[in-house]
């Protein structure tokens, strides 16, 4: 049996494979995202001590703080922690979220729970 591949077909096949792999990993990232849920103070401080925090931010008044774990869960998704007053939350989301976006997501969920 003799099998010959045309170079242009090979390049197209590799591009299709690369696009399929990219789509797969983007879908895995999206599936890894988890909405904020309330946790206790001990879980919050444990997470803070697990590894050096990424993007640790605090509001000027000290009422709110957020940080992320430096290690990614999947792709660009990581564990994110927030404190608003005396309430503590964890979520899993994209590591490019800023302090305000994290607080907005947490507040949205916490308002629906009440």
Write the DSSP symbol of residue 66: E
pLDDT at 7: 52
Distance between CA atoms of residues 33 and 114, nearest Å: 23
Q: Which stretches does DSSP call E strand in 1-114? A: 34-39, 53-58, 64-74, 77-84, 87-94
CA 86 to CA 96: how far, in whole Å?
A: 25
Please give the DSSP secondary-structure letter assigned to residue 76: T
Q: How many CB atoms lie within 10 A of CB 26?
A: 12
Phi, psi of 92 (to 5 degrees): -125, 120
pLDDT given at position 44: 97
Give 12-63 pLDDT, tens digit per residue: 566 678 888 999 999 999 999 999 999 999 999 999 999 889 999 999 888 9
Is 94 inside a domain boundary? yes
Domain that includes residue 50, residue range: 7-113
* 2 located within any domain: no
Q: Residue 1: inside a domain, yes or no?
A: no
> 68: which strand partners?
54, 80
Number of domains in the chain: 1
pLDDT surpasses 90 at 82:
yes
Greater pLDDT, 113 or 86 = 86
pLDDT of residue 69 exceeding 60, the answer is yes
Whole-angstrom Cα distance, residue 40 to residue 36? 13
pLDDT above 70: residue 83: yes
The pLDDT tens digits for 87-98 are: 999 999 999 999
């Amino acid at each position: 049996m003799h099998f010959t591949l045309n170079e242009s077909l090979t390049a197209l096949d590799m591009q299709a494979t690369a696009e399929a792999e990219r789509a797969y990993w983007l879908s895995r990232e999206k599936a890894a995202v988890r909405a904020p849920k309330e946790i206790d103070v001990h879980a919050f401080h444990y997470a803070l001590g697990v590894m050096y925090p990424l993007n640790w931010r605090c509001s000027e008044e000290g009422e709110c703080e957020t940080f992320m774990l430096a290690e990614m869960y999947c792709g660009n998704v990581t564990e994110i922690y927030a404190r608003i007053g005396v309430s503590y939350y964890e979520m899993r989301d994209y590591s490019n979220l800023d302090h305000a976006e994290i607080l907005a997501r947490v507040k949205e969920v916490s308002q629906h729970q009440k």
